[in-house]
């Protein structure tokens, strides 16, 4: 077994590998860029080596620096994590040539499966079902349009070396095929250093289901059941679970055996994933093979009891798999939510900056948090947007969903926006709960975006009562201040009004021995909690039932987050509430004459000029953020008055880019 390994990655996955290596008694070496010098993976590793500037092309993607770090520290093996160099055939080959073990498949397996075009040909030869498409490199956007026409719209345009949703577009017509091809090429070149793109038929109403496999150098192979990955937004996975609520034992066996056949055909050694698109009739087709550890691997670990990172290390060290197919069981149900630095209320735009508060739900046998950040750390614009992975386990799917809801309630993030409200809304959506969905679920259910009205709450009066509880605790504290003038000290009232979401909730409060009783209409809430000011989490009981929600005072409001709903009640006297109801509403400022940056990022392109008359739907600018290109188009016909920001500028949120007449 290795004595020391280097992790050629950063963030959450680097921390994840360090955790297993430490348990196995293996020392670890971290590598870091300028942006990551204070990162958690650097703190956790036994050693750390600086490898260059913040952009990944100058640090994490430079093979020579990784190899030099191995030699300087005496690392015997390299774990690549996912992303960066993890699926680069050249990297695995060069590592092996230097006499260092690559904790992953052999370079020839990566070469065969890492190329999405060649992998489809090999899959067909191995007897694996494949989707119709054009599997050769495409010269330019005009050829892409002609190919798309022959296949028939809709088509999927995808980078050959792609992954993680980057370098991928779905085109429904000639214009989208032309534009999508250009964007895919640019993203592929920037993210993977390989601008080849291919096109295939886009299967409508599909499910995205993948099979986890393990293989060793002794010819042993097993499949570790499936993962359901159909809940996606812009082809990026949002929620993953294992097993799938759709797959039956016969289909599972057929998919697993095809996945193993493909792995055997390319002499695969290590953990790998074969992805399938599955139709409503349970017909399935090979999508691609990921020759690395997947982001969503923890759900498989929960239901099988295996540590996949440990398995990868043992296989790389030459050990035989200690398990056979008959040993693989399905224990309960696991679910994972990707917690990303993005604002779901602003079109999921990237959110970067300092983590002012970062408090994860308590970990246990059924709740796990994989993260690479900490309170006070920074979410950088240079890397992907994932803050953490929240994974839960239950005896069945409903219990797993309930545990995920509770865990999301206790996940505190401040300083940046996160997608937790959206994840919480998904956990309550009837269609998700039913298990009857496909990859179009989010696009169909949230076609016009996501806002707070889409977050259901069965008892909004409960939130009003909790806000009143917090307000009364504040008043009780004020009443204890010494030196108050006799007859003029603060007094506790019993009648209040919570103004919340444009509605008025009359409340009556009564102090009880254990806490506080608050009544609205014909319902009473007996609240017991030791919550104190400064604590973002309020835990306790309401009418004897446990509760966990987030609450904090902001001026006159008490901002509450519960089951994804974010609302800010104001607790007022009945007289003040009446006067407020008479006040006119302030109209928001007119910003229609400006194009404002919706996210922090790099202004890659300005597609218009001053004086130009632009039609609705025409491209205005391209902003690059977190390795993704975002095209902003005109919402209506306008005339450009002034270009305020020039290409190459670093934009902040709400910065003016273009002024219109």
CA distances (Å), 302 to each of 225, 298, 316, in order?
12, 6, 23
- 220 and 319 in a single domain? The answer is yes
Q: Residue 248 domain-assigned?
A: yes
d(CA 421, CA 451): 9
Determine the Cα–Cα distance for residues 428 and 177; give it in Å rounded to an integer. 36
* Mean pLDDT over the full length of the chain: 93
Comparison of pLDDT for 164 and 45, the residue scoring more:
45
Within-domain flag for 447? no
Question: In a 10 Å sphere around its CB, with 0-12 CB exposed, 13-18 middle and 19+ buried, how is residue 25 labelled?
Answer: exposed
With cut-offs at 50, 70 and 90, classify the pLDDT of residue 448: confident
Where a domain ends, among 377, 412, 428? 428
142 part of a folded domain: yes
Same domain, 354 and 325: no
In this predicted structure, what is the pLDDT of residue 26?
Answer: 98
Q: What average pLDDT does range 75-92 have in this prediction?
A: 96
Tokens of residue 127, six digits = 């007897």
In which order are the strands placed within the sheet that holds 47-50? 47-50, 27-32, 4-7, 77-79, 101-102
Can you give the pLDDT at residue 627?
67
148 and 126 in a common domain: no
Two structure tokens written together for 287: 């999508």
How far is C-alpha 309 from the chain's CA centre? 21
The DSSP output letter for 332 is S
Q: 187, 226, 241, 288: which one is catalytic?
A: 288
CA distance 364 to 392: 9
How many angstroms separate the CA atoms of 414 and 425, rounded?
A: 19
Q: Mark whether 193 and 283 lie in a shared domain.
A: no
Tens of pLDDT, residue by residue over 127-172, are: 999 887 886 778 889 999 999 999 889 898 988 776 666 788 999 9
- pLDDT for residue 630: 85
CB 647 within 8 A of CB 603: yes
Q: What is the mean pLDDT of residues 91-104?
A: 97
With respect to residue 469, please indicate whether it lies within any of the assigned structural domains: yes
Examine residue 574 and state whether it is found in any structural domain, yes or no: yes
Residue 434 falls within a domain, yes or no? no
Are both 126 and 145 inside the same structural domain? no
The whole-number average pLDDT for the span 578-603 is 88
Q: Could you tell me which of 366, 364, 363 has the C-alpha nearest to residue 331?
A: 366
* pLDDT for residue 163: 65
**Is 80 exceeded by the pLDDT of residue 204?**
no
Domain tally, the chain: 6
Q: Which domain holds residue 492?
A: 460-581
Last residue of a domain, one of 201, 218, 250: 201
Residue 137 belongs to domain with CATH number: 3.30.1490.20
- Which string of b and e fits 221-250 if b means at least 16 CB within 10 Å? bbbbbbbbbbbbbebbbbbbbbbbbbbeee
Shared-domain flag, residues 299 and 249:
yes
Based on the domain organization, do 126 and 265 belong to the same domain? yes
Final residue in a domain of this structure, among 581, 603, 620: 581
Question: Is the model more confident about 163 or about 192?
Answer: 192
Task: Provide the pLDDT for residue 589.
Answer: 82
Q: Kindly report the CATH number assigned to the domain that includes residue 61.
A: 3.40.50.20
What is the CATH classification number for the domain harbouring 420?
Answer: 3.30.470.20
CA end-to-end span of the chain, whole Å? 69
123-132, 398-407, 482-491, 507-516 — which one is most confidently predicted on average?
A: 398-407
212 and 326 co-located in one domain = yes
- pTM of the model as a whole: 0.83
**What are the pLDDT digits (tens) for 456-471?**
788 999 999 999 999 9
The answer to whether position 309 is within a domain reads yes
* 343, 324: one domain: no
Q: State phi, psi for 387 to the nearest 5 degrees.
A: -90, -45
Measured distance CA(99)–CA(203) in Å, rounded: 44
Asked whether residue 393 carries a pLDDT value surpassing 70, the answer given is yes
288 is a catalytic site residue: yes
Q: Report how far residue 174's alpha carbon sits from residue 561's, in angstroms, rounded to the nearest whole number.
A: 44
- Of residues 507 and 490, the one with the higher pLDDT is 507
Q: What is the rounded distance in angstroms from the CA atom of residue 91 to the CA atom of residue 108? A: 11
Most confident of 153-167, 419-433, 486-500, 573-587: 419-433
Q: From its phi and psi, is residue 564 left (phi > 0), alpha (psi between -120 and 50) or beta?
A: left
Is 146 in the same domain as 220? no
HEC readout, 394-421: ECCHHHHHHHHHHHHHCCEEECCCCCHH
Looking at the fold, whether 420 and 410 belong to one and the same domain comes out as yes
Look at residue 167 in the predicted model and tell me its pLDDT.
80
pLDDT of the residue at 521: 93
Residue environment code for 608-631, b if the CB has 16+ CB neighbours within 10 A, otherwise e: beeeeebeeeeebbbbbbbbbbbe
Please indicate, yes or no, whether residues 224 and 355 belong to a single structural domain of this protein: no
- Residues 201 and 229: their CA atoms lie apart, in Å, by 19
Cβ(527)–Cβ(465) under 8 Å?
yes
Q: Does the structure show a pLDDT above 90 at 234?
A: no
Angstrom distance (rounded) from CA 335 to CA 629 = 30
Comparing 234-243, 548-557, 573-582, 584-593, the range with the smallest average pLDDT is 584-593
Rounded to whole angstroms, how far apart are CA atoms 140 and 193? 17
In a domain, 588, yes or no: no
């Amino acid at each position: 077994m290795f004595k020391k390994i280097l992790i050629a990655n950063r963030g959450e996955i680097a921390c994840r590998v360090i955790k297993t290596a430490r348990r196995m008694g293996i020392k670890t070496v971290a590598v870091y860029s300028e942006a990551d010098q204070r990162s958690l993976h650097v703190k956790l590793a036994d050693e750390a080596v600086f490898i260059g500037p913040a952009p990944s092309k100058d640090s994490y993607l430079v093979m020579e620096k990784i190899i030099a770090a191995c030699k300087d520290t005496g690392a015997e093996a390299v774990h690549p994590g996912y992303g960066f160099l993890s699926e680069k055939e050249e990297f695995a080959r060069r590592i092996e040539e230097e006499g260092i073990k690559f904790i992953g498949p052999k370079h020839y397996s990566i070469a065969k499966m890492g190329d999405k075009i060649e992998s489809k040909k090999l899959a067909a030869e191995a007897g694996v079902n494949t989707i119709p498409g054009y599997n050769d490199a495409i010269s330019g956007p005009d050829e892409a349009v002609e190919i798309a026409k022959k296949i028939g719209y809709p088509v999927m345009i995808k980078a050959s070396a792609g992954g993680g949703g980057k370098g991928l577009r779905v085109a429904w017509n000639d214009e989208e095929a032309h534009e999508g091809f250009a964007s895919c090429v640019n993203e592929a070149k920037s993210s993977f250093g390989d601008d080849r793109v291919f096109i295939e038929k886009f299967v409508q109403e599909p499910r995205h289901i993948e099979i986890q496999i393990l293989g060793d150098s002794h010819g042993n192979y097993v499949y570790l059941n499936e993962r359901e990955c159909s809940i996606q937004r812009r082809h990026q996975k949002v929620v993953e679970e294992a097993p799938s609520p759709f797959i039956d034992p016969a289909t599972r066996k057929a998919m697993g055996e095809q996945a193993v056949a493909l792995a055997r055909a390319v002499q695969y050694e290590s953990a790998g994933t074969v992805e399938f698109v599955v139709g409503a009739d349970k017909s399935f087709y090979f999508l691609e093979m990921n020759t690395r550890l997947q982001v969503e691997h923890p759900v498989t670990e929960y239901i099988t009891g295996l540590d996949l990172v440990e398995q990868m290390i043992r296989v790389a060290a030459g050990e035989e798999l200690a398990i056979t197919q008959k040993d693989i069981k399905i224990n309960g149900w696991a679910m994972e939510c990707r917690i990303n630095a993005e604002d779901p209320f602003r079109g999921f735009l990237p959110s970067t900056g300092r983590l002012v508060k970062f408090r994860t739900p308590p970990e246990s046998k059924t709740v796990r948090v994989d993260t690479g950040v900490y309170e006070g750390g920074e979410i950088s614009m240079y890397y992907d947007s994932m803050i953490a992975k929240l994974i839960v386990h239950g005896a069945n799917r409903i219990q797993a969903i309930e545990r995920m809801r509770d865990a999301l309630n206790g996940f505190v993030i401040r300083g940046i926006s996160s997608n937790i409200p959206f994840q919480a809304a998904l956990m309550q959506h009837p269609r998700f709960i039913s298990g009857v969905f496909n990859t179009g679920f989010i696009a169909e259910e949230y076609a016009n975006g996501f806002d707070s009205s889409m977050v259901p709450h069965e008892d909004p009066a409960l939130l009003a009562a909790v806000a009143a509880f917090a307000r009364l605790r504040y008043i009780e504290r004020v009443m204890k201040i010494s030196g108050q003038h006799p007859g003029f000290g603060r007094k506790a009232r019993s009648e209040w009004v919570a103004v919340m979401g444009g509605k008025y909730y009359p409340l009556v409060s009564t102090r009880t021995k254990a806490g506080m009783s608050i009544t609205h209409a014909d319902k009473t809430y007996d609240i017991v909690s030791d919550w104190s000011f400064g604590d973002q989490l309020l835990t306790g009981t309401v009418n004897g039932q446990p509760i966990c929600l987030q609450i904090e005072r902001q001026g006159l409001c008490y901002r509450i987050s519960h089951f994804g709903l974010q609302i800010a009640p104001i607790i007022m006297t009945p007289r003040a509430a009446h006067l407020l109801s008479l006040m006119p509403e302030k109209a928001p400022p007119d910003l229609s004459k400006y194009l404002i940056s919706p996210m922090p990022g790099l202004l890659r392109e300005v597609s218009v000029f001053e004086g130009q008359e632009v039609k609705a739907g025409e491209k205005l600018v391209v902003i690059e953020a977190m390795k993704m290109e975002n095209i902003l188009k005109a919402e209506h016909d306008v005339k450009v008055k002034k270009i305020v920001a020039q290409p190459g500028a670093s934009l902040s949120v709400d910065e003016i880019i273009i002024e219109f007449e």
